[in-house]
Structures are given as structure tokens and as C-alpha cells.
């Protein structure tokens, strides 16, 4: 028997006002909604073309159940297997569950595909490990595009516990085994849970039942601290939560609107609130959607897609729980799809790896892991973006992107990313944008006897904000390393040289290159306490290209900063640090 506590997706959460304006609702077709069975928890991809949902009590479910390395679906006789599954469901429910295979605790994830974001013509039923005989449901998607967030955490040799996990589509129809999401001080004392992640991956809104809350289930805020960890959930407060149940949150792509369901009116209804400013604890008065979105039955699980303007939701108005949608807005997607290949720059062949997106304004990184050399990501409009491929043994070439916020992009933006083979024994991960510095004298050697005046110092790439002389945070460690070298060798002076491509007025390029060189010097002086007289900084504009400026790859190589040893003095010549 499973040794851990289990969570299951609750069917309903809890009715209507008057009609606001002429809104038509659509019940999705028979491939998605089935007579006599419950379909719940719609989760729609940002492009509106992939719909994930959960089907309950259906005869066609994934039977693979691994316990201590053994698949019980194969090793146990049919009746004994059914009794075993029934025992697990009894544990979840707290009472005897009759006919376990047709019960609401038997939950599988299904996937519907559309070519035009309107009609779903293809229905898929993923196998193990995305599904198993236990409760399976998707709470949200990650920004990577090929990852889903699952309710519950899973153990490979058998078991399941409260929390959330991530599974990745490998591109061939298979999925990775779920990896835990770490939420600090996570606790949920209720039998069901729901959540959403913001489209940029920086925020999660969780519906939890915890001591000290306002009602049975409240909405909580958790912020991402790095790629794996999330802050302790904080209650969103009385402007959002009541003594009733607040569940099934969905945060709009721009993180301004929060959709959720609440039982404050009796049954479950769908509500929407807006953030006031940047504060996560200051909201407008909740708006309760009127008929036909809300009905006299339970309506919940709102999931708004800006690409199509559809609000997807779950309702029991026709008896069983079904998935509906209503067009509540015009098309105005906040994100643009960027797709392409990760290529070896020498061979031109696709390679597996990962792509990191840095959102300049938010200083936030997001990853896409590719097993086949292809990637597909959603990036926000109106924000400078840097995409950089990464793989051990390679140096990634960063690409800068910016999509005008008022434009509607009807097609995917196609861009291949390049990995340059590296001779370094350690992985050379380039995390941000602009251009690599030259390499010659290795900082790791620390032996000044191996250096000569005029040598270029070997550092990792130094990156700047696009068209600015502001060093990106991802390059601080590189400059710290350089500062440590200078501290260890107080008789070395350096020259920092800034270079640009040839796009722009010569006087502007000269100023930019000079300002960037000076920014490196300023960092070493202010943060590493290197004496300013030991560092010279000069900009050379576009006067010394190292590659052909007629190609983007050449221009990228020409946008660089070089660190050169300008003087090696004797110990009596200076007392400077």
C-alpha cells in the first residue's frame, strides 16, 4: 500500500447573477466531453492550440503502477489489482470506495490538439509516467512550453505525496518522470489543491487549506527564488479570501488579473480581480461573472487564453462536469512564440541542450530543455529578451529580441541558436547577452610569470544591457574573478577596451564602447576595491572588427570587451592594491 498522503483533484468547488453583456458559451465537443463522465481542469497552452484536461472514472485509464521497481498491473491478477487500487482510493477518501475504476479518484490527463486554436480535432491519452492509476491532473504550464506542472509529487519506486512536480515532453510523445517543485514550508491540510504559475514563471498562486486562513481554502502567493525553490506561501488577504472556499486560481499573462472560483455565493462561481499597482496584496473588489458564464450549478476552473480571448472553465450545469469556453475578449496575446533549433556552429547539426531566456526588465531567467535540438518558447512583448543556448563543452551565442507590445504576431518567430565548441574542460555557460571577450592568459593560472604585457586576459564573456553601458548581473561573477586576480597580483595594470559593430553613427558607437569599458573599470573599483590608477578604459567603437560586419554572427563577435595586461611593475614601484 502507498505509504504517503495523497491529494486528488476535487470535482466541484461551488452561482449566477444577471447577464452582463451578450456572451455566448460553447460546450466543447464529444471528443473532450463524454456522457456520464466528468471532464475537469482545462489548461490551455499560450498559443491556444493545446488543451490539457482531466477525465474522471473512465474505463480507458493508464494502469501502470510501479512499486519497488515492479509494475503491479502486470504482476497482480486483475481482481487483486483492482482491490489494491481500491485500497489506495479508500486511503485518499477516508471511506470505502466502491467500483474504484469508475470512481472520481481515478483521474487521467488527456490532451486535445487544434490547428487553428478553434476546433480541437485530435485527442491524445498520454501513458506512464504522466499518467498512472492514481489521481493525475495538470495545474498549470511552465514558460518553457514543453513542461507541465502536476498536482502531487511522485516517487519512482512507488509512492506519492503532497506538492507539485514538473514533467517535460521529450518531443516524441513521451514524458519525463515528474521532478519535485520545492516550495518552502509547504502545507495543505485539505483533501484537494489547485494552483497556477504565471506565464513568465516568476509567481505561483496556490489554493491551500492552512491554519490561520480566512476559510476552508484560501489563495496564497509564492515567488520563485531560483530554478527549483519557491518562497513560503503568503495569504493574499481579505480582499481576495473569505470564510468560504477560494480555489482554482488563474493569473493572466501580464500578471494583472486573477481569475478564481469561490463558494461565497453558495455554489461555486467564477470571479475576477485586478491588481492595483505592483503590490500583490492590494486588489480591486472581486467581480463575479454573470450568466451565462456562471450558472445555478458549480462553475470553476477558469483559464483565460489571451491568444484567442477564450475563457475556458468547468461547469456541472448539464449534470456531469464538462468543459466550456466563452469569448470574453478580443485577441491580444501578451506573448510571442519563438521556435527554432539549437545548432553546433561548426557542424551545423542540431544538438540537445537548453535555452535560457533572460527578461531584461524583470532580471528573470527561464529555461527550455531540449532533447532533440529543437526548442519552442513563449516570450513577452514589450520586454528586451536575451536567448542563450547552453550545453557542457560549448559556449552559447546569445540573441537579443524585442517584440513591440502593440503588435499582434500571427506566426511563430523562427530563430536558430548556435553553440560554439569550447576547449575548456568545464562547461562554459553563457547566461546573458552581448559578445565574448578575447582569450589568451588564463586567470586560473594566477602565475604572473606566465603573462606578458599586451596579453589578453582570459575571462568568461562580459555582457551588457542591450545598447547600454550597464553590466548585466550575470557577468558580476566574471568581474569578481578578474578582481580577485588583480588583488592577488597587485603589480599588474590592465587596459579595458570596448568594441562595437558598425551599426549606428560612428560618434554614438565610440561613446558606447568607451562607456562600456568604463563600466567594467567602475565595477572593479567600486566592488572589488581595485585602485583606479591600475585600470585604464578606452573605447574603440567599430574601428577594430574581428569578424565580417555584414552578417549578424560577425557583428555579434565584434560587440566585445577585451581585457589586456598593460603593465607589470616591480614591488617597489607601487603600493597600490
Per-residue model confidence (pLDDT) at position 56: 96
Sheet holding 299-305, edge to edge: 25-27, 320-327, 310-318, 299-305
Per-residue model confidence (pLDDT) at position 19: 38
Per-residue model confidence (pLDDT) at position 409: 66
Per-residue model confidence (pLDDT) at position 298: 96
Cα 461 to Cα 354, 433, 436, 437, 560: the distances in Å are 18, 9, 4, 5, 8
Cα 397 to Cα 55, 371, 416: the distances in Å are 43, 19, 10
Which of these, 564, 495, 487, 473, lies nearest to 529 by C-alpha position? 487
Q: How far apart are CA 298 and CA 246, in angstroms?
A: 13
Q: How far apart are CA 106 and CA 362, in angstroms?
A: 41
Sheet holding 364-370, edge to edge: 364-370, 353-359, 385-390, 399-401
| Phi, then psi, of 80 in degrees rounded to 5 | -65, -40
CATH class of 25-327: mainly beta
The residue count of the chain comes to 577
Tell me whether strands 434-435 and 462-463 are parallel, antiparallel or unpaired: antiparallel
- Report the DSSP beta bridge partners of residue 203: 223
Q: Which residues of the chain have pLDDT under 70?
A: 1-21, 226-228, 332, 360-366, 406-410, 423-448, 450, 552, 570-577
Global confidence as pTM: 0.64
Name the CATH topology of 334-431.
Immunoglobulin-like (2.60.40)
Strand, coil or helix: 488: helix
For residues 232 and 206, the answer to whether their CB atoms sit within 8 Å is: no
Q: Does CATH number 3.30.1330.60 belong to domain 438-577?
A: yes
Q: How far apart are CA 160 and CA 266, in angstroms?
A: 33
Q: How far apart are CA 562 and CA 181, in angstroms?
A: 40
Per-residue model confidence (pLDDT) at position 435: 38
Q: How far apart are CA 504 and CA 542, in angstroms?
A: 10
Which of these, 111, 133, 97, lies nearest to 54 by C-alpha position? 111
Per-residue model confidence (pLDDT) at position 533: 83
Per-residue model confidence (pLDDT) at position 496: 93
Tally of CB atoms within 10 A around 52? 23
Tell me whether strands 257-265 and 246-251 are parallel, antiparallel or unpaired: antiparallel
| Phi, then psi, of 6 in degrees rounded to 5 | -115, 150
Torsion angle (degrees, nearest 10) of CA 321, 323, 326, 330: 150
- Report the DSSP beta bridge partners of residue 267: 265
Delimit the domains of the chain by residue range.
Answer: 25-327, 334-431, 438-577
For residues 72 and 65, the answer to whether their CB atoms sit within 8 Å is: yes
C-alpha cell at 57: 472514472
C-alpha cell at 422: 569550447
Amino acid at each position: 500500500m502507498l505509504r504517503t498522503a495523497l491529494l486528488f483533484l476535487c470535482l466541484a468547488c461551488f452561482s449566477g447573477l444577471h447577464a452582463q453583456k451578450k456572451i455566448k458559451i460553447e460546450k466543447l465537443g464529444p471528443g473532450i466531453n463524454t456522457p456520464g463522465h466528468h471532464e475537469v481542469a482545462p489548461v490551455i497552452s499560450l498559443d491556444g492550440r493545446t488543451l490539457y484536461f482531466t477525465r474522471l472514472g473512465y474505463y480507458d485509464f493508464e494502469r501502470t503502477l510501479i512499486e519497488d521497481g515492479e509494475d503491479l498491473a502486470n504482476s497482480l491478477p486483475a481482481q487483486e489489482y483492482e482491490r489494491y487500487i481500491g485500497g489506495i482510493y479508500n486511503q485518499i477518501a477516508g471511506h470505502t470506495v466502491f467500483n474504484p475504476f469508475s470512481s472520481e479518484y481515478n483521474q487521467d490527463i488527456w490532451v486535445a490538439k487544434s490547428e487553428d486554436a478553434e476546433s480541437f480535432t485530435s485527442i491524445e491519452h498520454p501513458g506512464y509516467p504522466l499518467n498512472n492509476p492514481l489521481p493525475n491532473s495538470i495545474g498549470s504550464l511552465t514558460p518553457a512550453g514543453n513542461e507541465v506542472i502536476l498536482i502531487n509529487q511522485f516517487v519512482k519506486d512507488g509512492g506519492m505525496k503532497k506538492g507539485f512536480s514538473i514533467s517535460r515532453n521529450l518531443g516524441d510523445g513521451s514524458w519525463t518522470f515528474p521532478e519535485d517543485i520545492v516550495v518552502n514550508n509547504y502545507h495543505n491540510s485539505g483533501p484537494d489543491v489547485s494552483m497556477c504559475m504565471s506565464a513568465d514563471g516568476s509567481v505561483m498562486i496556490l489554493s491551500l487549506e492552512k491554519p490561520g486562513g480566512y476559510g476552508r481554502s484560501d489563495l496564497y502567493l509564492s515567488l520563485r527564488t531560483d530554478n527549483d525553490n519557491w518562497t513560503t506561501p503568503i495569504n493574499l488577504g481579505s480582499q481576495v479570501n473569505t470564510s468560504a472556499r477560494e480555489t482554482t486560481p488563474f493569473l493572466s499573462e501580464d500578471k494583472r488579473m486573477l481569475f478564481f472560483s469561490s463558494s461565497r455565493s453558495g455554489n461555486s462561481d467564477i470571479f475576477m480581480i485586478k491588481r492595483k499597482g505592483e503590490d500583490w496584496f492590494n486588489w480591486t473588489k472581486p467581480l463575479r461573472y454573470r450568466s451565462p458564464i456562471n450558472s445555478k450549478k458549480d462553475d470553476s476552473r477558469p483559464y483565460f487564453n489571451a491568444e484567442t480571448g477564450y475563457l475556458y472553465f468547468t461547469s456541472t450545469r448539464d449534470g456531469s462536469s464538462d468543459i466550456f469556453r466563452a469569448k470574453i475578449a478580443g485577441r491580444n496575446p501578451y506573448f510571442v512564440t519563438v521556435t527554432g533549433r539549437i545548432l553546433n556552429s561548426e557542424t551545423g547539426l542540431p544538438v540537445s541542450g537548453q535555452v535560457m531566456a533572460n527578461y531584461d526588465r524583470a532580471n528573470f531567467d527561464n529555461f527550455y530543455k531540449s532533447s532533440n535540438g529543437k526548442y519552442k518558447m513563449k516570450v513577452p512583448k514589450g520586454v528586451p529578451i536575451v536567448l542563450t543556448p547552453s550545453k557542457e563543452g560549448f559556449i552559447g551565442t546569445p540573441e537579443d529580441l524585442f517584440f513591440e507590445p502593440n503588435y499582434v504576431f500571427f506566426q511563430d518567430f523562427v530563430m536558430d541558436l548556435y553553440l560554439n565548441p569550447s576547449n575548456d574542460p568545464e562547461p562554459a555557460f553563457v547566461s546573458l547577452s552581448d559578445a565574448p571577450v578575447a582569450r589568451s592568459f588564463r586567470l586560473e593560472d594566477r602565475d604572473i610569470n606566465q603573462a606578458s604585457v599586451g596579453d589578453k586576459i582570459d575571462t568568461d564573456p562580459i555582457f551588457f544591457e542591450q545598447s547600454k553601458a550597464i553590466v548585466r548581473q550575470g557577468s558580476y561573477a566574471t568581474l569578481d574573478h578578474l578582481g580577485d586576480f588583480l588583488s592577488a597580483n597587485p603589480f599588474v595594470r590592465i587596459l579595458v577596451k570596448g568594441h562595437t559593430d558598425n551599426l549606428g553613427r560612428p560618434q554614438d558607437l565610440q561613446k558606447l564602447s568607451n562607456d562600456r569599458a568604463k563600466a567594467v573599470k567602475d565595477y572593479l573599483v567600486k566592488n572589488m576595491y581595485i585602485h583606479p590608477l591600475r585600470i585604464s578604459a578606452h573605447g574603440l567603437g567599430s574601428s577594430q572588427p574581428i569578424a565580417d560586419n555584414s552578417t549578424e554572427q560577425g557583428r555579434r563577435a565584434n560587440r566585445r570587451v577585451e581585457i589586456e595586461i598593460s603593465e607589470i611593475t616591480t614591488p617597489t614601484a607601487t603600493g597600490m592594491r
